[in-house]
């Protein structure tokens, strides 16, 4: 199986890049970050064309089938959609589909993407950690499966929902949630003026109505299976800590931006602490993107199904260049884009 790092077994990004250099910056081109989507981006058919055209992508799916003990590849390729939407299937499925895109890209390029850093949205953070060599694929598959099972169980025990709120300041939405109850919170800070609230259904409905009254441009219920990243996930978070403690975690080969603080995770103990807190904490994606920008990143490559992160990054950094690649054609276009980027860099430093 192809990896994007200095060893073929554990590391996907990092190390010397031949013609590429991690974090290399010419006068005409900025740094690149690779980012990975979270739950909600799954779609039936994801990865199918990649697996058909790329041996490296096909190997990722085959390994997942073997480790998990069921045909995750069949579920990704053929559905049914209602089964793929279930949290305990959606999470490993997205992990594998995104890593398949990464390995197909590496195989096609014949080199590793010149990433200065990686990040992922919620579940996507696990994908980023595998890409950076902090987590091994087999361990992560089992952990993510367990994460999804616990989240689904918590959602059945304490039902809740999530609603996107567009067009209000973060602080105002926080104040509205606080006036409703302690059972609804801001769960995702996705972009300036775009957050997601999460919690008990009745409390979320009241908070959503107050957001409309306060002038929110849109208030959109999300088709999710529970109140993720809210106090209703406390039982799942407590139980999942045992899984996190058992994970073999290495220091990332390249910087990873964590969800809990939106800051850099450079050591194994920092990664473990972030994963312990992630389920019960908000996803600070706006801060994560800003952290990358502060490090000189102005080019982003989203690997995996959908283009959710492309839109969020564009709202946060309007001048950034963002490319999304989730299938064979997208990966081919990404290779051309990366090669063109590198050509610009070579011309600038000659």
Q: Are 57 and 336 in contact (CB under 8 A)?
A: no
d(CA 72, CA 14): 28
Q: Is 166 exposed, middle or buried (0-12, 13-18, 19+ CB in 10 A)?
A: middle
- Using CA atoms, how far apart are residues 161 and 307, in angstroms rounded to an integer? 23
Identify the residue whose tokens are 């041996």: 55
Distance CA 145, CA 29 (A): 39
- Is there a catalytic annotation at residue 157? no
Query: Taking Cα atoms as reference points, which of 170, 171, 165 lies closest to residue 210?
Result: 165
The HSE-up count of residue 192 (CA atoms within 13 Å, CB side) is: 7
Catalytic residue among 54, 98, 122, 288: 122
Query: Active-site residue 229, yes or no?
Result: yes
Residue 274: both structure tokens together: 């972030």
Q: In whole angstroms, what is the distance from residue 140 CA to residue 87 CA?
A: 16
Number of Cα atoms under 13 Å in the Cβ half of residue 188: 23
In the structure encoding, which two tokens stand for residue 17, read together?
């890049």
Nearest 5 degrees, angle CA 225-CA 259-CA 155?
A: 20
Q: Residue 322 pairs with which residues in a beta bridge?
A: 300
Q: Which of 229, 299, 323, 345 is catalytic?
A: 229
**DSSP E strands, the chain:** 31-36, 115-120, 160-166, 184-191, 194-200, 218-221, 256-257, 264-265, 283-284, 297-303, 321-325
| Token pair 């091994």: residue | 136
Residues belonging to the active site: 122, 229
């Amino acid at each position: 199986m192809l990896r994007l790092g200095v060893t073929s077994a554990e590391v996907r990004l990092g190390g010397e890049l031949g013609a590429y250099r991690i974090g290399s910056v010419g006068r005409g081109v900025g740094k690149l970050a690779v980012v990975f989507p979270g739950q909600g981006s799954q779609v039936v058919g994801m990865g199918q064309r990649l697996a058909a055209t790329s041996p490296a992508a096909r190997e990722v799916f085959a390994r997942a089938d073997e480790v998990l003990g069921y045909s995750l590849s069949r579920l990704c390729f053929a559905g049914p959609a209602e089964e793929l939407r279930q949290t305990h299937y959606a999470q490993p499925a997205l992990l594998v589909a995104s890593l398949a895109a990464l390995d197909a890209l590496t195989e096609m390029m014949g080199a590793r993407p010149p990433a200065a850093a990686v990040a992922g949205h919620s579940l996507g953070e696990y994908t980023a950690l595998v890409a950076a060599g902090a987590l091994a694929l087999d361990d992560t598959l089992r952990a993510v499966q367990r994460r999804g099972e616990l989240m689904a169980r918590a959602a059945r025990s304490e039902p809740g929902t999530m609603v996107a709120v567009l067009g209000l300041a973060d602080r105002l939405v926080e104040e509205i949630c606080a006036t409703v109850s302690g059972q609804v919170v801001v769960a995702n800070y996705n972009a300036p003026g775009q957050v997601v609230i999460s919690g008990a259904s009745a409390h979320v409905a009241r908070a959503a109505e107050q957001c409309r009254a306060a002038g929110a441009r849109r208030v959109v219920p999300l088709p999710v299976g529970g109140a993720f990243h809210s106090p209703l996930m406390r039982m799942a978070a407590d139980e999942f800590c045992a899984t996190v403690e058992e994970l073999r975690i290495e220091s990332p080969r390249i910087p990873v931006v964590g969800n809990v603080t939106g800051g850099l995770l450079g050591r194994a103990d920092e990664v473990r602490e972030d994963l312990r807190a992630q389920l019960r904490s908000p996803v600070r994606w706006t801060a994560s993107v800003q952290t990358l920008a502060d490090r000189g990143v102005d080019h982003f490559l989203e690997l995996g199904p959908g283009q959710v992160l492309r839109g969020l990054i564009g709202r946060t950094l309007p001048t950034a260049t963002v490319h999304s690649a989730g299938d064979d054609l997208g990966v081919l276009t990404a290779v051309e884009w990366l090669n063109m980027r590198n050509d610009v860099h070579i011309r600038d430093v000659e």
